[in-house]
Amino acid sequence: LLKIVQYPHPTLRWKSKPLRRVDAELHKIIREMFDAMYEARGVGLAANQVDLPYRLFIVNLTADPAETDQEQVFLNPVLSKPKGQVESEEGCLSLPGLYAEVMRPERITLNAYNLAGQELSADLDGLFARVVQHETDHLDGVLFIDRLSPTKRLATKEVLGEFEAVFDDRRRLGELPDDAAVAARLEELERLRC
């Protein structure tokens, strides 16, 4: 089963290339991404959060696995026409327990493809706009902590240090591959579908 990787796993800093190939295996991966997201009680999940280099994310704003008609998959998303600025609290499944106010455009236009290969375009606001921006950031290797004001960033320093210590320990125990091994695997997966 897919596992959600936590900060500072290097895949979270991977800049994903557009997908060129959607196959049955990818459909299966996306189903597993939804399962992992629901288990963690999230409303959005990007592929690199499950250690995959694909330019896609999933959303279900209800976080309820019973609400399958609210499940959305966005492939190769492109954001444009940001309007307004609004600050709101964010968290991330790759930084469990950490929450902070992040300033972002209030409204945004999203262009993407769905799993059926249909192009879609939507003007978004509210929670949907925020989730889509947070997830698209992931695909560029950007985390919400990168967007905090210097003061708020400073306030997260201790918690981030704890995540880093846990990660270093797991590496020392051989539970996590080194950076070169992570990159080699992601590049191989990229060659297959991007």
Q: Measured in whole angstroms, how far is the alpha carbon of residue 96 from the centre of its chain?
A: 13
Cβ neighbors of 143 (< 8 A, separation 6 or more) are 7, 12, 92, 94, 95, 137
Question: Quick one: 22 or 72, whose CB is closer to Zn ion?
Answer: 72
Residue 173, judged by CB atoms within 10 A of its CB (0-12, 13-18, 19+), counts as exposed
Question: Quick one: 22 or 37, whose CB is closer to Zn ion?
Answer: 37
Residue 122 has a CB neighbour count (10 Å cut-off) of 14
Cβ neighbors of 175 (< 8 A, separation 6 or more) are none
- Cis peptide before 53, with omega less than 30 degrees from 0? no
In the complex, least distance from residue 159 CB atom to Zn ion, rounded to whole angstroms: 15
| Contact between residue 100 and residue 155 where contact means Cβ atoms under 8 Å apart | yes
In the complex, least distance from residue 42 CB atom to Zn ion, rounded to whole angstroms: 8
| From 90, 101, 135, 164, the catalytic residue | 135
What would you measure as the largest C-alpha separation in the chain, in angstroms? 47
In the complex, least distance from residue 95 CB atom to Zn ion, rounded to whole angstroms: 7
In the complex, least distance from residue 76 CB atom to Zn ion, rounded to whole angstroms: 19
Question: Quick one: 22 or 44, whose CB is closer to Zn ion?
Answer: 44
Question: Quick one: 19 or 43, whose CB is closer to Zn ion?
Answer: 43
Q: Residues interacting with Zn ion, by CB under 5 A? A: 92
In the complex, least distance from residue 14 CB atom to Zn ion, rounded to whole angstroms: 14
Residue 135 is a catalytic residue: yes
Question: Quick one: 30 or 92, whose CB is closer to Zn ion?
Answer: 92
CA distances from 41 to 38, 62, 96, 142 (A): 5, 10, 11, 21
Coil, helix or strand for 80? strand
Q: Annotated active-site positions, please? A: 135
